[in-house]
Amino acid sequence: MTRVSFSFGQNWEKYLTERHPDAVRSMMSYFQTWLPGGLANRRLVDVGSGSGLSSFVAHQMGARVTSIDVDPSSVAATTRLWEAAGSPSTWWVSEGSILDSGFVDSLGTFDVVLSWGVLHHTGELWQAMSEIVRLVEPKGLLWIALYTRTRRSGQSLRLKELYNRAPDRLKPLLRTAYAAPKLAKMTMRRDFTPITRYHEERGMDWWRDIEDWLGGLPYEVASPSEVHSLLWPLGFTLERLKSAEGEGDNDVYLYRRDRDPAKPRSSEQ
């Protein structure tokens, strides 16, 4: 089994300290683009809440929010934003795993189930998918982002394993080496907007995402056809798909649970 020496939560705690002042506004704009009906009085669960930024924005948009994460440092980061919001009674933060069926049962069901860039790091992607769908209320939405499958996915896995095996003192050098070709290209073009405007889509930070990408194990990938083959028979209809732009990018899916699950065909003639 691959040794993992990376904490997403510790990276998210750094992010909260360094985040761009427009991060909240950028994330809210992203939410409004994907959920034009709004979130007022809707029940939303943020599976793998990470920094807590998505949960914070959902709360600001009027949702009743449940934030869960398996990483105690991520729970701590999310709790920081919960406290910054005034410790609201309509927002709950809890430590737990989407792979724990008993824990999933205890959560109930929700109008919106969000998991952005999380399930592919569980080590059991398809089990996590089978669990998360149980959280979606009939007529509810499932909004997820998953690393796309490409011919270079195996190479990415090896790079991540190399990074995680490296001594901590070398990891900053490895991050710099990974970023160097991208920085060189920006320098040649005299265009650093990929960094300076990186926050504009979801409020994220370029350097923090590089650390997240290199350290992010376990690492699994999925194609849209694989995702659809799982979700369609369970009564989910795809409402929107933003296709990944290449290796290391996410396919972003918005499904609605609007049908009864398909019944298996009888073997009797």
Q: Where are the alpha helices (DSSP H) in 35-152?
A: 53-60, 72-84, 101-107, 125-132
Q: What is the 3-state secondary structure (H, E, C) of 179-224?
A: HHHHHHHHHHHCCCHHHHCCHHHHCCCHHHHHHHHHHCCCCCCECH
CATH of residue 76's domain is: 3.40.50.150
CA 167 → CA 47, 113, 172, 178, distances in Å? 30, 37, 10, 16
Domain membership flag for residue 182: no
Interatomic CA distance for residues 43 and 6, integer angstroms: 31
Domain membership flag for residue 130: yes
Domain membership flag for residue 247: yes
Q: Are strands 236-242 and 110-116 parallel, antiparallel or unpaired?
A: unpaired
pLDDT of residue 220: 96
Domain membership flag for residue 45: yes
pLDDT of residue 269: 39
Domain membership flag for residue 137: yes
Interatomic CA distance for residues 45 and 133, integer angstroms: 12
How distant is the alpha carbon of residue 126 from its chain centre? 15
DSSP state of 51: T
Q: Would you say how long the chain is, in residues?
A: 269
| Paired tokens of 118 | 């999380």
Domain membership flag for residue 165: no
Contact 132, 144 (CB under 8 A): yes
pLDDT of residue 3: 45
pLDDT of residue 8: 81
Domain membership flag for residue 220: yes
- Return the SS3 of 46: strand
Q: Which residue has the tokens 């095996």?
A: 165
Is the dihedral angle over the CA atoms 70, 73, 76, 82 positive or is it negative?
Answer: negative
CB atoms within 10 A of CB 180: 10
Domain membership flag for residue 23: yes
Q: State how many domains the chain has.
A: 1
Pick left, alpha or beta for residue 231 (phi over 0 → left; psi -120 to 50 → alpha; otherwise beta). Answer: alpha
Torsions phi, psi for 8 (to 5 deg): -60, -40
Mean pLDDT by 10 residues, the chain (269 residues): 60 84 94 96 97 97 97 94 97 97 98 97 96 98 97 95 94 95 94 92 90 92 97 97 94 96 56
Domain that holds residue 242: 8-150+215-257
pLDDT of residue 12: 81
